[in-house]
Amino acid sequence: MRRWIHSFDKKIEDVVSDRRLIGNKGLNLCLMKQMGLPVPSGFVITSEAFDYREKNKALPKEFFDELKDNLSNIEKALNLKFGDPNNPLILSIRSGSQYSMPGMLDTILNIGLNKKVVDKISQNDQSIFALDTWRRFLQMYSHVVFKIEHYFFDEILESYLLGAGLSSTSQLDAEDFEEICAQYLSLIEEKNEKPFSENVNDQLVNGIYAVMDSWKNERAVAFRKLNNIPDEAGIAVNIQKMVFGNLNEKSASGVLFSRNPDNGEKVVKGEYILCSQGEDVVSGFFTPQSINKKYKNEYSDSDTLEEKFPSIYEELLNISIKLENYFRNVQDIEFTIESGNLWILQSRNAETNLEASLNITRDMVKEGLIEKKHAIASTDPDTIKRSLTPILDDSFNNLILSSGLPASPGVISGKIAFDSEGIDRIQGQGGKSILVLVATNTKDIKAMHNTDGILTSHGGLTSHAAVVARGLGKTCITGAREIIVDVEERKVIINEEIFHEDDILTINGHTGDIIKGVARTKSQDPPDALKDILGWCEEIVEDKHDDPITLLEKAKAIIKN
């Protein structure tokens, strides 16, 4: 019998088969529910439903019956009703593959809003929240379902802010949001040749179809090709009650690493934005604040989460320890605070840089979380190659132009490029390239994969650029706030000095420094953590005179057999 839907409340019996069926995100949500963590109610539409629709062009009646039953179970448990203005259940739709594809597949938040629901929420002294959420929903839904590009909506918003003499959405009042939403609706009607549907059930079904279809979008296909992910793997779709980090001043959204992803230190590190939704944190267009005082943002006077929400910070610490001990890996945790209540939206194995990966592997063995054999088996030979790459030789007089956040380590000197075409041309001439943008998004995945380094003027350590760069092993600096990137004019201004495409910069992903021209480098000794791991390999392999990569590969082969 086919399994169309798996409730978060249903116990996971077989992790391997369930991962194929409900994807990593759905599996981890179910496991966290079993652990008693604060996960919003929901269910997963399985990859079998995706496969059926691919083959038959539609989903069967039994699927919709099951969808209705699962939705009804959430409504009864929470005393909410989907589409009811008086007590509305609002949902999110998120994709989930068994393979990690960060940012490649689509998400739709705030499903279940229409004018009646928004008007009713607005009556409860929450008009700005209601209209801001409505604005977000109209843009995200229309982009994913109707394929209306984001820049049409961004142009409306930016023009309104400019005309009103305002600099950000935080300065808008209810009347402003109402006018912006009216312009969004006119845009949607113009592009779609019909008014936006007020029917929340249509929104849900069309949203499910669109998120399934994102498996075949250009960036997802390119990512799978670059990472050898089979097209037939398919995706699951997670339907979950929305929790609102933009509800009020006691609300926020953020991302937390259970250990420092830059050096592996056993201290949580992350970022959050007050009165926001999760997409704001990873977008790169907002400046987040640090989770804790240890890593407080030097550019900001705003409170860390530890200072603003001390009890929630302690709760997050305890949850991060519990999740790390359960999954035996450093965790990347997405969370939302809704009016002072903490919710966990996702936990997955974190992408860390090279130094952190080695340190974490060694430390987890010493802490008894994993065995030496597991540590050796999980160490990639490419890790050794990258750990021995040169570092900056600071004995020479390198001209530091500016600095940003050290998002992924390494030292790269290369010619400035602003897109894939520039990167290909530079590399075709035998040179190295540095992709320079305001912020990256999922459409830049090919350029990010092909370039040698990445530099952005916006975004934090959990932005799209930072996460993808760490996963690709690319040197990266984000949040270099003092530089001005002008892609149209093909130039970047750093400390009033203008650099054009093909001009050479050096970026130091260890420190965040941006250096003029080609910087000198020097060789480095193997990190202490790598020496420890290679020492464990020598305990297994009798021939201790092998080079490090051969030694690791021999030890891995012995463990496997």
Q: What is the pLDDT of residues 229-270, one digit of tens each?
A: 999 988 999 999 999 999 999 999 999 999 999 899 999 999
CA distance 32 to 345: 10
The answer to whether 450 and 427 are in contact (CB under 8 A) is yes
Q: What is the pTM of this model?
A: 0.81
- Same domain, yes or no: 407 and 501: yes
The predicted pLDDT at position 163 comes to 93
367 shares its domain with 395: no
Range of the domain at 492: 391-522
Percent residues over pLDDT 70 in the chain: 97
pLDDT band at 414 (very low <50, low <70, confident <90, very high): very high
Mean pLDDT of all residues in 24-29: 96
Question: Which of these, 424, 417, 454, lies nearest to 439 by C-alpha position?
Answer: 454
**The pairing of beta strand 453-456 with beta strand 433-437:** parallel
Q: Is residue 28 part of a domain?
A: no
**pLDDT tens by residue, 509-557:** 888 999 999 998 887 778 899 899 999 998 988 766 677 888 888 888 8
- Asked if residue 399 and residue 303 are part of one domain, the reply reads no
Residues 314 and 371 grouped into a single domain: no
Which of 250, 324, 243, 314 is closest to 278 using CA atoms? 243
Dihedral (C-alpha) 342, 181, 42, 35: value to the nearest 10 degrees? -20
Q: What pLDDT score was predicted for residue 17?
A: 84
Query: Do residues 379 and 400 both lie within one domain?
Result: no
Sign of CA dihedral 275, 281, 283, 284: positive
CATH code for position 487? 3.50.30.10
Domain stop point among 323, 349, 375: 349
In a domain, 148, yes or no: no
Mean pLDDT of the chain: 91
Place of tokens 């194929």: 20
List, for residues 394-406, the tens digit of each pLDDT value.
778 888 999 999 8
Confidence check: pLDDT of 299 > 60: no
pLDDT of residue 498: 96
Does the pLDDT of residue 3 top 90, yes or no? no
Q: The sheet that has 341-349: what strands, in order across it?
A: 289-290, 269-274, 252-257, 331-338, 341-349
Are β-strands 236-241 and 42-45 bridged in parallel, bridged antiparallel, or unpaired? antiparallel
pLDDT of residue 298: 61
**With contact defined as beta carbons under 8 Å apart, do 264 and 409 qualify?**
no
pLDDT range class, residue 62, cuts 50, 70, 90: very high
Residue 1, classified by CB atoms within 10 Å of its CB into exposed (0-12), middle (13-18) or buried (19+), is exposed
Q: Does residue 401 lie within any of the structural domains?
A: yes
Residue 50 lies in a domain: no
Q: Where are the alpha helices (DSSP H) in 174-235?
A: 174-192, 200-213, 218-226
Q: Are residues 479 and 463 in the same domain?
A: yes
Alpha helices in 248-390 (DSSP H): 278-283, 305-308, 310-327, 354-366, 372-378, 381-387
**Cβ 315 vs Cβ 342: under 8 Å:** yes
Which strands form 497-500's sheet, in the order they lie side by side? 483-486, 491-494, 497-500
> Of how many residues is the chain composed?
561
Residue 102: CB atoms within 10 Å: 16
Angle 262-331-558 from CA coordinates, rounded to 5°: 85
Residues 377-394, mean pLDDT to the nearest whole number:
78
Instruction: Please give the structure tokens belonging to residue 114.
Output: 């229409």
- Which secondary structure element, helix H or strand E, spans residue 391, and what is its range? strand 391-392
* Cα 352 from Cα 370, distance rounded (Å): 18
Residue 6 CB contacts under 8 Å (≥ 6 apart), including other chains: 18, 21, 22, 26, 30, 43, 44, 46
| DSSP 8-state class, residue 359 | H
Is residue 457 in some structural domain? yes
For tokens 């320890």, the residue is: 321
How many folded domains does the chain comprise? 3
- Is residue 221's pLDDT more than 60? yes
Is 80 exceeded by the pLDDT of residue 120?
yes
Residue 381 has pLDDT above 90, yes or no: no
SS3 of residue 544 by DSSP: coil
Contact between residue 519 and residue 434 where contact means Cβ atoms under 8 Å apart = no
pLDDT at position 1? 64
Please choose, from the candidates 68, 57, 65, 91, the residue with its C-alpha nearest in 3D space to the C-alpha of residue 2: 65
pLDDT in tens, 421-472: 999 999 999 999 999 999 888 788 889 999 999 999 988 877 888 888 887 8
